Amino acid sequence: MKLDPVLLKIACSWSIKAYNDTNRDAIKIENKLTSATAFVVKRKTIDIIVFRGTQEKLDILTDLAVIPVPYVKRLCHAGFALSHKSIWSEIEQHIDYNKRTLICGHSLGGAMAELSAAKLNGKHDNLNLITFGKPNTFFKGFKRPMTLDNQISVVQGSDVVPRVPRLCYGPSRSQTMLYFSNGGPTIINPSKYYRKKDRGDFKDRIADHLMKGYKECLDIFLKEQKDGKVGVDI
Protein backbone atom coordinates (compact mmCIF):
# COMPACT_ATOMS: atom_id res chain seq x y z
CA MET A 1 0.00 0.00 0.00
CA LYS A 2 1.07 3.62 -0.53
CA LEU A 3 2.25 5.40 2.61
CA ASP A 4 0.55 8.78 2.86
CA PRO A 5 3.09 11.24 4.37
CA VAL A 6 0.37 13.72 5.36
CA LEU A 7 -1.60 11.12 7.32
CA LEU A 8 1.58 9.80 8.95
CA LYS A 9 2.48 13.32 10.11
CA ILE A 10 -1.04 13.97 11.42
CA ALA A 11 -1.12 10.65 13.28
CA CYS A 12 2.32 11.27 14.80
CA SER A 13 1.44 14.81 15.87
CA TRP A 14 -1.83 13.82 17.56
CA SER A 15 -0.32 10.73 19.18
CA ILE A 16 2.05 13.15 20.92
CA LYS A 17 -0.69 15.68 21.75
CA ALA A 18 -2.81 12.93 23.31
CA TYR A 19 -0.50 13.00 26.34
CA ASN A 20 -1.41 16.67 26.86
CA ASP A 21 -4.78 17.48 28.45
CA THR A 22 -4.80 21.04 27.05
CA ASN A 23 -6.02 20.12 23.55
CA ARG A 24 -8.68 22.82 23.37
CA ASP A 25 -9.63 22.10 19.77
CA ALA A 26 -10.45 18.46 20.55
CA ILE A 27 -13.32 16.68 22.32
CA LYS A 28 -11.92 14.81 25.31
CA ILE A 29 -13.48 11.47 26.25
CA GLU A 30 -12.33 9.62 29.35
CA ASN A 31 -13.32 7.08 31.94
CA LYS A 32 -11.72 7.79 35.30
CA LEU A 33 -12.32 4.23 36.54
CA THR A 34 -10.25 2.67 33.74
CA SER A 35 -8.13 5.76 32.95
CA ALA A 36 -8.99 5.27 29.25
CA THR A 37 -8.62 8.59 27.39
CA ALA A 38 -9.29 9.60 23.80
CA PHE A 39 -9.67 12.81 21.83
CA VAL A 40 -11.95 13.41 18.85
CA VAL A 41 -10.78 16.11 16.46
CA LYS A 42 -13.20 17.48 13.86
CA ARG A 43 -11.71 19.01 10.72
CA LYS A 44 -13.29 20.07 7.44
CA THR A 45 -12.09 17.07 5.42
CA ILE A 46 -11.16 14.53 8.11
CA ASP A 47 -12.04 13.42 11.62
CA ILE A 48 -9.28 12.18 13.93
CA ILE A 49 -9.75 9.81 16.86
CA VAL A 50 -6.60 9.52 18.95
CA PHE A 51 -6.08 7.45 22.10
CA ARG A 52 -3.64 8.33 24.87
CA GLY A 53 -0.96 5.78 25.68
CA THR A 54 0.18 4.47 29.07
CA GLN A 55 0.47 7.36 31.52
CA GLU A 56 -1.39 6.64 34.76
CA LYS A 57 -0.95 3.79 37.29
CA LEU A 58 -4.28 2.33 36.16
CA ASP A 59 -2.89 2.14 32.61
CA ILE A 60 -0.12 -0.15 33.85
CA LEU A 61 -2.71 -2.50 35.35
CA THR A 62 -4.51 -2.43 32.00
CA ASP A 63 -1.28 -3.40 30.22
CA LEU A 64 -0.71 -6.34 32.59
CA ALA A 65 -4.20 -7.89 32.24
CA VAL A 66 -3.12 -10.24 29.45
CA ILE A 67 -5.80 -12.96 29.74
CA PRO A 68 -7.58 -13.29 26.37
CA VAL A 69 -11.30 -12.45 26.28
CA PRO A 70 -13.85 -12.34 23.43
CA TYR A 71 -14.24 -8.83 22.02
CA VAL A 72 -14.91 -7.41 18.54
CA LYS A 73 -15.54 -11.00 17.31
CA ARG A 74 -12.00 -12.01 18.26
CA LEU A 75 -10.00 -13.08 21.30
CA CYS A 76 -7.98 -10.16 22.54
CA HIS A 77 -6.07 -8.76 25.51
CA ALA A 78 -8.50 -8.40 28.45
CA GLY A 79 -7.03 -5.15 29.76
CA PHE A 80 -7.21 -3.45 26.37
CA ALA A 81 -10.75 -4.74 25.77
CA LEU A 82 -12.05 -3.49 29.15
CA SER A 83 -10.41 -0.10 28.72
CA HIS A 84 -11.72 0.31 25.19
CA LYS A 85 -15.25 -0.78 26.08
CA SER A 86 -15.40 1.81 28.87
CA ILE A 87 -15.31 4.76 26.42
CA TRP A 88 -16.30 3.34 23.03
CA SER A 89 -20.03 4.13 23.20
CA GLU A 90 -19.28 7.82 23.79
CA ILE A 91 -16.67 7.91 21.00
CA GLU A 92 -19.11 6.26 18.60
CA GLN A 93 -21.51 9.18 18.98
CA HIS A 94 -18.97 11.43 17.25
CA ILE A 95 -18.24 9.19 14.24
CA ASP A 96 -19.32 10.49 10.84
CA TYR A 97 -19.55 7.46 8.55
CA ASN A 98 -19.63 9.72 5.48
CA LYS A 99 -16.32 11.39 6.30
CA ARG A 100 -12.71 10.23 6.18
CA THR A 101 -11.64 9.12 9.64
CA LEU A 102 -8.13 8.60 10.99
CA ILE A 103 -7.72 6.49 14.15
CA CYS A 104 -4.31 6.61 15.80
CA GLY A 105 -2.39 6.26 19.05
CA HIS A 106 0.89 5.31 20.70
CA SER A 107 1.57 2.31 22.95
CA LEU A 108 -1.64 1.42 24.84
CA GLY A 109 -3.29 4.08 22.68
CA GLY A 110 -2.27 2.11 19.60
CA ALA A 111 -3.97 -1.02 20.93
CA MET A 112 -7.12 0.99 21.63
CA ALA A 113 -6.97 2.43 18.11
CA GLU A 114 -6.69 -1.08 16.65
CA LEU A 115 -9.75 -2.23 18.61
CA SER A 116 -11.65 0.80 17.32
CA ALA A 117 -10.74 -0.08 13.73
CA ALA A 118 -11.93 -3.65 14.38
CA LYS A 119 -15.22 -2.25 15.68
CA LEU A 120 -15.69 -0.17 12.53
CA ASN A 121 -14.35 -2.77 10.10
CA GLY A 122 -16.90 -3.31 7.33
CA LYS A 123 -19.05 -0.40 8.55
CA HIS A 124 -16.88 2.59 7.63
CA ASP A 125 -15.70 2.87 4.02
CA ASN A 126 -13.08 5.60 4.49
CA LEU A 127 -11.06 4.59 7.52
CA ASN A 128 -7.32 4.81 8.25
CA LEU A 129 -5.48 3.22 11.19
CA ILE A 130 -1.96 4.36 12.14
CA THR A 131 -0.28 3.21 15.35
CA PHE A 132 3.13 3.79 16.97
CA GLY A 133 4.79 1.24 19.25
CA LYS A 134 1.58 -0.74 19.56
CA PRO A 135 1.63 -3.91 21.71
CA ASN A 136 0.16 -7.17 20.42
CA THR A 137 -3.60 -6.98 20.83
CA PHE A 138 -5.09 -10.17 19.38
CA PHE A 139 -4.67 -13.80 20.37
CA LYS A 140 -2.75 -16.01 17.92
CA GLY A 141 -4.90 -18.52 16.06
CA PHE A 142 -8.03 -16.47 16.69
CA LYS A 143 -7.04 -13.33 14.80
CA ARG A 144 -9.62 -12.52 12.15
CA PRO A 145 -7.83 -10.30 9.61
CA MET A 146 -9.55 -6.97 9.10
CA THR A 147 -10.63 -6.13 5.57
CA LEU A 148 -9.41 -2.60 6.23
CA ASP A 149 -6.70 -1.79 3.64
CA ASN A 150 -5.26 1.28 5.31
CA GLN A 151 -3.55 -0.11 8.42
CA ILE A 152 -0.04 1.04 9.30
CA SER A 153 1.88 -0.09 12.39
CA VAL A 154 5.01 2.01 12.95
CA VAL A 155 7.68 0.15 14.93
CA GLN A 156 11.21 0.99 16.13
CA GLY A 157 13.59 -1.96 16.12
CA SER A 158 14.69 -1.60 19.76
CA ASP A 159 11.21 -0.89 21.12
CA VAL A 160 10.22 -3.79 23.38
CA VAL A 161 6.49 -2.97 23.52
CA PRO A 162 5.53 -4.14 19.99
CA ARG A 163 7.02 -7.53 20.92
CA VAL A 164 4.71 -8.05 23.93
CA PRO A 165 2.69 -9.76 25.17
CA ARG A 166 4.56 -12.65 23.55
CA LEU A 167 2.83 -15.79 24.79
CA CYS A 168 -0.07 -16.60 22.43
CA TYR A 169 -0.24 -13.03 21.04
CA GLY A 170 1.10 -11.58 17.80
CA PRO A 171 0.89 -8.63 15.37
CA SER A 172 -2.04 -8.29 13.01
CA ARG A 173 -1.63 -10.17 9.72
CA SER A 174 -3.47 -7.51 7.72
CA GLN A 175 -1.36 -4.50 8.69
CA THR A 176 1.53 -2.82 6.89
CA MET A 177 4.48 -2.50 9.25
CA LEU A 178 6.76 0.51 8.81
CA TYR A 179 9.89 -0.67 10.59
CA PHE A 180 12.79 1.56 11.67
CA SER A 181 15.68 -0.87 12.09
CA ASN A 182 18.63 -0.29 14.43
CA GLY A 183 21.17 1.77 12.52
CA GLY A 184 19.98 0.23 9.27
CA PRO A 185 17.40 0.96 6.60
CA THR A 186 13.73 1.66 7.07
CA ILE A 187 11.89 -1.50 6.01
CA ILE A 188 8.32 -2.16 5.02
CA ASN A 189 6.97 -5.48 6.32
CA PRO A 190 10.18 -7.05 7.69
CA SER A 191 10.26 -10.80 8.24
CA LYS A 192 9.90 -12.26 11.73
CA TYR A 193 13.50 -13.49 11.43
CA TYR A 194 14.80 -9.99 10.63
CA ARG A 195 12.98 -8.46 13.60
CA LYS A 196 14.32 -11.15 15.93
CA LYS A 197 17.89 -10.35 14.88
CA ASP A 198 17.34 -6.59 15.12
CA ARG A 199 16.55 -6.11 18.80
CA GLY A 200 19.37 -3.71 19.63
CA ASP A 201 20.86 -3.07 23.06
CA PHE A 202 18.79 -3.71 26.17
CA LYS A 203 19.22 -0.12 27.36
CA ASP A 204 17.52 1.14 24.19
CA ARG A 205 14.43 -1.04 24.43
CA ILE A 206 12.55 1.27 26.78
CA ALA A 207 13.95 4.61 25.55
CA ASP A 208 13.06 3.79 21.94
CA HIS A 209 9.42 3.37 22.93
CA LEU A 210 8.97 7.12 23.49
CA MET A 211 7.06 9.13 20.88
CA LYS A 212 9.99 11.55 20.65
CA GLY A 213 12.09 8.83 19.05
CA TYR A 214 9.28 7.75 16.76
CA LYS A 215 8.86 11.31 15.50
CA GLU A 216 12.59 11.62 14.80
CA CYS A 217 12.65 8.35 12.84
CA LEU A 218 9.49 9.25 10.94
CA ASP A 219 10.86 12.66 9.96
CA ILE A 220 14.00 11.01 8.57
CA PHE A 221 11.97 8.40 6.69
CA LEU A 222 9.63 10.96 5.11
CA LYS A 223 12.61 13.01 3.95
CA GLU A 224 14.17 9.87 2.43
CA GLN A 225 10.86 9.00 0.78
CA LYS A 226 10.67 12.48 -0.70
CA ASP A 227 14.23 12.04 -2.02
CA GLY A 228 13.32 8.68 -3.56
CA LYS A 229 14.97 6.47 -0.91
CA VAL A 230 12.09 4.26 0.21
CA GLY A 231 11.91 1.16 2.40
CA VAL A 232 11.90 -2.28 0.79
CA ASP A 233 10.23 -5.57 1.67
CA ILE A 234 12.36 -8.24 3.36
pLDDT digits 0-9 by tens, 79-95? 899 999 999 999 999 99
Burial class (CB in 10 A: 0-12, 13-18, 19+), 203: exposed
CB neighbour burial string for 42-51, b if at least 16 within 10 angstroms, e if fewer: eeeebbbbbb
The H or E element spanning position 75 is strand 74-77
Helix pair angle (108-120, 78-92), 10° resolution: 60
| Domain extent listing, the chain | 5-226
Q: In this predicted structure, what is the pLDDT of residue 28?
A: 95
Q: In this predicted structure, what is the pLDDT of residue 62?
A: 55
Q: For residues 30 and 36, what is the distance between their CA atoms, to the nearest angstrom?
A: 5
> Rounded to two decimals, what is the model's pTM?
0.90
Q: Which CATH superfamily is domain 5-226 in?
A: Alpha/Beta hydrolase fold, catalytic domain (3.40.50.1820)
For 219, the 3-state DSSP assignment is helix
Question: In which residue ranges of the chain is pLDDT below 70?
Answer: 1-2, 56-66, 141-149, 166-167, 169, 200-205, 229-234
